[in-house]
Amino acid sequence: MLNSRRLVLAHFWMAFGGFGLALLLGAWQMFIRSPLAGWIGNPEWYYRSVTAHGTIMGYVFPTLIAMGFGYAITETSLKAPIAGVRWAWAGIALILIGSIMAMIPVSAGLASVLYTFYPPMIGNPFYYIGVVLVVVGSWIWVALMSINLIRWKRANSGKPVPLAMYANVAGSYLWGWTAVGAALELILQIIPVAVGLRSTIDAGLARIFFSWTLHAIVYFWLIPTYIAYYTIVPRAIGGKLYSDSMARISFVLFLVVAMPIGIHHTFADPMVGAGFKFVHSVFTAIVALPTLLTVFTICASVEIASRLRGGRGPFGWLVALPWNNPTMLAVTFSFIMLGFGGAGGLINMSYQLDASIHNTQWITGHFHLIFGGAIVIMYFVIAYDLWPHLTGRNLANLSLMRLQLWLWFIGMIVTTFPWHYVGILGMPRRMAYYDYTHPAIADQALPVILSATGGLILVVSAALFFVILIRGHLSEKADPGEYRFSVAVHPPQRVPVALNSHGLWVGLMIALTATNYGFPILQLAVRSDTSVPAVYVGVK
Partner 1 sequence: MNPERLLSLTNRWFSTSVGLTLVIFLSSAICGFLLLPYADADSRFSGIWDAICNAAGFPVKSSATDIIQPEFKISGATLGLAELTSPSPQSIGRGATLAQQCAICHGPEGVSRADAPNLAGQYAQVIYKQLHDFRSGARTNATMGPFAAHMNDRDMIDLAAYYAYLPRIPSSRDSAEVPLIVASGAPTRGIAPCGSCHGTIERKIGSPWLNGQPAAYIEAQLRYFASGARRNDTNQQMRNIARALTDDEIKAVASYYAGTQ
Among 25, 72, 259, 272, binds partner 1 (CB under 8 A): 272
- Contact between 277 and partner 1 per CB under 8 A: yes
Q: Which stretch binds partner 1 (CB under 8 A): 217-225, 292-300, 390-398, 506-514?
A: 506-514
Residue number with CB closer to partner 1 (144 or 263)? 263
Which 144-203 residues touch partner 1, going by CB under 8 A?
A: 157-158
Q: Which of 193, 211, 212 is nearest to 201 (CA)?
A: 193
**Applying CB under 8 A, does 519 fall inside the site for partner 1?**
yes
Are the CB atoms for 419 and 365 separated by under 8 Å?
yes
Q: In the annotation, is 248 catalytic? A: no
Q: Helix or strand or coil: residue 437?
A: coil
Query: Catalytic residue at 59?
Result: no
What amino acid is encoded at 10 in this protein? Answer: A
Say whether 496 sits in a helix, a strand or coil: coil
- Which one of the listed residues 430, 466, 471, 536 is annotated catalytic? 430
Q: Which of 511, 518, 532, 533 binds partner 1 (CB under 8 A)?
A: 511
Beta carbons of 271 and 508 less than 8 angstroms apart = no
Q: What is the β-pairing status of strands 532-533 and 200-201? A: antiparallel
Binding footprint of partner 1, residue count (CB under 8 A): 42
From 12, 61, 127, 367, the catalytic residue:
367
Minimum Å gap between C-beta 537 and partner 1 is: 12
Residues numbered 393 to 432 that lie near partner 1 (CB under 8 A) are: 431
Query: Using CB under 8 A as the criterion, what x/- string covers residues 426-445 for binding partner 1?
Result: -----x-xxx--x-xx----
Candidates 6-14, 181-189, 219-227, 496-504: pick the segment binding partner 1 (CB under 8 A).
496-504
- Catalytic pick from 47, 69, 210, 219? 219
In the bound state with partner 1, the residue whose beta carbon lies nearer, of 399 and 515, is: 515
Q: Which stretch binds partner 1 (CB under 8 A): 123-131, 186-194, 330-338, 494-502?
A: 494-502
**H or E element: which one contains 535?**
strand 535-536
Rounded Cα distance between 326 and 205, Å, is 45
d(CA 15, CA 17): 6
Q: What is the dihedral of CA 51, 69, 66, 102, to 10 degrees?
A: 40
Tell whether residue 468 is a contact of partner 1 (CB under 8 A): no
Give yes or no: 429 in active site.
yes
Applying the rule CB under 8 A, the residues between 279 and 298 that interact with partner 1 are 279, 282-283, 286
Select 343 or 431, whichever has its Cβ closest to partner 1: 431
Whole-Å CA distances, 313 to 5, 113, 241, 302, 303? 43, 55, 20, 14, 11
CB 415 within 8 A of CB 461: no
Least CB distance to partner 1 at residue 256 (A): 7
Residue from 108, 425, 501, 535 touching partner 1 (CB under 8 A): that is: 501
Give the span between the Cα atoms of 465 and 149, in whole angstroms: 33
The total of other beta-carbon atoms located within 10 Å of residue 116's CB is 18
Choose the binding region for partner 1 from 382-390, 409-417, 461-469, 511-519 (rule: CB under 8 A).
511-519
Minimum gap (Å) between residue 71 Cβ and partner 1: 27
366 is catalytic: yes
Say whether residue 108 binds partner 1 (CB under 8 A).
no
* Residue 488 identity: A
d(CA 190, CA 534): 9
- CB-nearer residue toward partner 1: 42 or 399: 42
Concerning whether 430 is annotated as a catalytic residue, the answer is yes
Residue 94 three-state SS? helix
C-beta of 204 vs 345, nearer to partner 1: 204
Residue 220, classed as helix, strand or coil, is helix
Looking from the CA of 443 toward its CB, the CA atoms found within 13 Å total: 7
Q: Is 523 in the site for partner 1 (CB under 8 A)?
A: yes
Q: Find residue 532's DSSP bridge partners.
A: 201
> Known catalytic residue: 265?
no
Q: Is 340 an active-site residue?
A: no
**In the complex, minimum distance from the CB of residue 540 to partner 1, in angstroms, rounded to a whole number:** 9
| Residue 145 exposure: Cα atoms within 13 Å on the Cβ side | 29
Q: In terms of CB distance, is 491 or 503 closer to partner 1?
A: 503
3-state helix, strand, coil in the chain (%, to 5): 70, 5, 25
Catalytic residue among 215, 248, 280, 502: 215
Q: Is 85 in the site for partner 1 (CB under 8 A)?
A: no
Contact predicate 248/171, CB 8 Å:
no
List the one residue out of 53, 133, 125, 206 whose CA is nearest residue 536: 125
* Cross-strand pairs, 535: 121
Residue at 496: amino acid letter: P
CA–CA gap between residue 539 and residue 234 (Å, rounded): 54
Q: Give 128's contacts (C-beta < 8 A, 6+ positions apart).
A: 102, 111, 117, 186, 190, 191, 194
CA dihedral 92, 60, 9, 229 (to 10 degrees): -130
Q: How far is the CB of 405 from partner 1 (least distance, A)?
A: 38
Q: Using CA atoms, how far apart are residues 398 and 401, in angstroms rounded to an integer?
A: 5
Pick 21 or 424: Cβ nearer partner 1: 424
Residue (90 or 268) nearer to partner 1, CB: 268
Q: Does 504 bind partner 1 (CB under 8 A)?
A: yes
Residue among 3, 36, 37, 42 that touches partner 1 (CB under 8 A)? 42
Instruction: Say which of 264, 265, 366, 389 is annotated catalytic.
Output: 366
Q: Does 533 bind partner 1 (CB under 8 A)?
A: no
**CB nearer partner 1, residue 81 or residue 518:** 518
Residues that bind partner 1 (CB under 8 A): 39, 41-42, 157-158, 256, 271-279, 282-283, 286, 431, 433-435, 438, 440-441, 496-501, 503-505, 508, 511-512, 515-516, 519-520, 523
Q: Which residues are catalytic?
A: 215, 219, 366-368, 429-430
